Chains A and B, each alone.
Chain A
Amino acid sequence: MHKYVMRRLLLAIPVLVCSSLIVFGLMRVMPGDALVALMGESGNVGERELEKLRRDLGLDRPYHEQYLLWVWQMVSLNPGHSIFTNEPIPVALRKAIPVTVELAVLAMVLGLVIAIPVGVLSATRQDKPSDYVGRVVAVSGLSLPDFWLGTLVITFAAIWFRWIPPLGYTSLWDDPWRNLQQFLLPAAVLGYRLSASTMRMTRSTVLEVLREDYVRTAWAKGLGGRLVVYKHALKNALIPVVTIVGGQLGTLLAGTVVVETIFALPGMGRLTVEAILFRDYPVVQTNVMLVAAVLVTLNLVVDLTYAWLDPRIRYR
């Protein structure tokens, strides 16, 4: 196991270095200097401020120095200021991250709560009407755009129930009820999308497992249907589902971008979209890099958990 952990850790480092090069390179495709100049043209920044900005951002230095400087800033957790609001980026992130984490966790939980029972039901009643309903629900989850679903949910909640979720963001610790009202709909929209592939995976693995010998033995022993499905079959069927859920973290984080924009939640996603719209590139490169780092780390954790659960993987 130690060897496996070490190997995986060593593989993660070049990936992160490559990601940082891609993000950095991307931000320089249109040279940073031109970016700053564009900001000047838009009339938001004066000529003298532009000079200062160039110096502060290190845009007058060679690329390799700029890159190393940026990496150092990221590693020392001091990625500088937003060009636009002049707020230090760590301060902005400290406000945004809890919002996104709460949204993501809630969406994931809701997604699993929908996906696993429906997936099991679909599998145990294969090719019956409830299976078809379950499958259509799942494929729709993959096809309905989340921004559309979000818009519809807000409008129809307003028209039918005369209810609009309270705007903005209230911390869970200050007012849990208000916080729940703000998060429930966005998390449900996001969770529904996530549940789609989990549901499909649960269905197909449960179907597979139900045909195994030990499940037949359990039936032959005269065990009850529920016991066989939930205790014997589901436990083994869930291993591949764990991987799929791990693989969805990217979808989840991307989904927060859209959902936060629609539901006006001040999280990482909205921060990034706004930064992109205003060409606030220190914020963009910090956020994108942060998300990449988080994803690489989480995927590593998922892989290690998986290897720990299933010893065969370590020896591949």
Chain B
Amino acid sequence: MSTPATVEPSRLDLDAPKMPAAASVAAMDAPATLGRVGTLWRVLKRKPLGLASAAVLLTLVLTAIFADVLAPYDPLAAQPEIRLAAPSRAHPFGTDDIGRDVFSRIIYGARISLWVGLLAVGIGTFAGMIIGLACGYWEGRLDIIVQRVMDAIQAIPGLMLALAIVSVLKPSTTNAMLAIAVVIIPGNSRIVRGTVLSAKQNPYVEAAQALGSRHPRIIATHILPNVTAPILIIASIWLGNAILIEATLSFLGLGTQPPTPSWGLMLSSTGRAFMEQAPWLAIFPGLAISIAVLGFNLFGDTLRDAWDPKLRTRG
């Protein structure tokens, strides 16, 4: 049976299972999560940059959810008589080449970016976690083969792999999302595998094995809690990257298709063509992408500082 006493002290507050194996995963995870939120809150209070990033992310999420309410105009409604209008009180970010309100399009664009980011990272993280758990727990031949496959996927630069996948499927938001998920899997599986390998060394895992607990139960109750902190940190950093890749794919014409308002697409379709006459068409979508990605990067850094000081030196 695992007791906190068997865990090294430095990890107590982070990722040590805090209840005996008999408790359910959900019940066991609850106090640990509360502890983590507490640690995060303490770090956030000390780091103004972290707090600012949390505020940016909250704004982003609320914007995406309440886009219908917040956007002053229909993002698809063209008003040719006011095409390429400069920013004004009526249209704070100006209008594009067919007279659509850029501000409203950016608000709706938050939805696409966030949706793609969350789903891609969700799928990629989940798949990576399952693969990493299986490889790290059972090791052996399966592990060797899977690791080579992961190496092979990582040998192809992420963006290029995503491009190739999208080109084979068909350029669309959903396919861009799937492509990004595939890109995320190898790195995540490796981190989970590493954590599992070290978690397995803990005496409480050995004890559970000796007591005859079944593998799924050992994984769920003893191994999984060790994995959640690194997974959440990596996921938050990946979210920024996923938004960036989606924007890049859309910019290259291989992601979201017109007329859907996507930040990357707005930049490539009209932003570049009218850059000199109407710089706002390129400046605002680019700023939106940058702020969102910056928010996730800084928040990821803060999570890392709060939950896993050991990861801090890894760039």
Chain B associates with chain A: yes
User: Which residues of A are in contact with B by a Cβ distance under 8 Å?
Assistant: 14-19, 21-23, 26-27, 29-30, 139-140, 142-145, 147-148, 151-152, 154-155, 158-159, 197, 200-201, 204-205, 208, 240, 244, 250-251, 253-254, 257-258, 261, 272-273, 276-277, 279, 284, 288, 291-292, 295-296, 299
Residues of A within 8 A of B248 (CB): 145, 147, 258
B197 to A: closest C-beta gap in Å: 14
Q: Which residue of B lies closest to A299 (CB)?
A: B155
CA distance A159 to B168 in the complex (A): 40
CA distance A251 to B268 in the complex (A): 21
**CB distance A158 to B164 under 8 Å?**
no
Contact of A19 among B155, B163, B286 (CB under 8 A): B155
**CB distance B286 to A145 under 8 Å?**
yes
CA distance A154 to B268 in the complex (A): 14
Residue B199 CB within 8 A of the other chain: no
**CB distance B276 to A273 under 8 Å?**
no
Chain B facing A: main interface SS: helix
The 7 lowest CB-CB distance pairs between A and B, nearest first, are: A18-B152, A148-B286, A254-B159, A143-B294, A254-B157, A276-B167, A143-B293
A24 to B: closest C-beta gap in Å: 11
A59 to B: closest C-beta gap in Å: 15
Q: Which residue of A lies closest to B150 (CB)?
A: A18
Of the A-B pairs whose beta carbons lie under 8 Å apart in the complex, a sample of 24, sorted by A's number, is A18-B149, A18-B152, A19-B155, A26-B164, A30-B168, A139-B297, A143-B240, A145-B247, A145-B289, A148-B285, A148-B286, A151-B275, A152-B282, A154-B275, A155-B279, A197-B315, A250-B158, A254-B158, A276-B166, A276-B254, A277-B167, A284-B164, A288-B160, A295-B155
**CB distance A29 to B168 under 8 Å?**
yes
User: Which residues of B are in contact with A by a Cβ distance under 8 Å?
Assistant: 148-149, 151-161, 163-169, 240, 244, 247-248, 251-254, 264, 267-268, 271-272, 275-276, 279, 282-283, 285-286, 289-290, 293-294, 297-298, 312-313, 315
Contact of A273 among B151, B252, B289 (CB under 8 A): B252
Residues of A within 8 A of B251 (CB): 145, 147, 258
